[in-house]
A and B are shown apart, each in its own frame.
Chain A
Amino acid sequence: MQIKFKVNGEAREIEVTPFHRLLDLLREDLGLTGVKEGCGKGECGACSVIMNGRLIPSCLVPAPQADGAEIITIEGLAEGNSLHPLQEAFIETGAVQCGFCIPGMIMAGKNLLDENPSPNEKEVRTALSGNICRCTGYTKIIEAVMLAADKMDSKGSGSDE
Chain B
Amino acid sequence: MAPSRSVADSTPPSTTSEVVENDFQPFFVLHKASSRRKDRKPTAQGKLWKRNELSSSFPQGAKKLGGRMTEECDHHLFQQLQIEAFDIVWAKIESTIKDVLRDLNAIVFNDIQKWVLECFNATKLLGEPTIAEATRSFPTLNNTTPGQMFTAFVSTRNIEFVDDILTFEELGHFLKSHGCHVAKLSSLEFSSKNGIAGCLKALLQEFLGCAIDSADISILASWYREQVNYNKPLLLIVNDLERCCGSVLTDFILMLSEWVVKVPIIFIFGVATTVDASRNILPSHALERLCPSRFMLGTPVERMDAIVEAVLLKHCTTFSIGYKVAVFLRNYFINQDGTVTSFIRALKVACLLHFSMEPLSVIHGQTLAEDQKEGKSALSPETLLKYIDELPLCARNQTVDHPTQKSMSEGLSELVTVQKLWSTAVLCLYEAGKYSRVRLLDLFCEALSQDLYLSRVSDCHVGDEKDRDLSSTNDPRQQYSIMKSGGIIGKIVCKVRDIPTGMLYQLIESWEKLTADVSEIHEKLKILQSSVRCEDGKSSRKSSKDNSKRYPVNIDKDARMLNLQAIAFLDYLLRNFLKPVEGMPFHEIFCFKNVEKLQLVLIGDPRRRIQVDLLEFHKILRCSCCSKSGNALLPSRHDSSIMYSLAQEHGDLINLHDWFQSFRTIVIQHKNKRKQNSKQSPSSKKRKDINGSADQNEASIQARFCRAVTELQITGLVRMPSKRRPDFAQRVAFGL
Q: Are A and B bound to each other?
A: no
Q: Interface residues, chain A, CB within 8 Å of chain B?
A: none
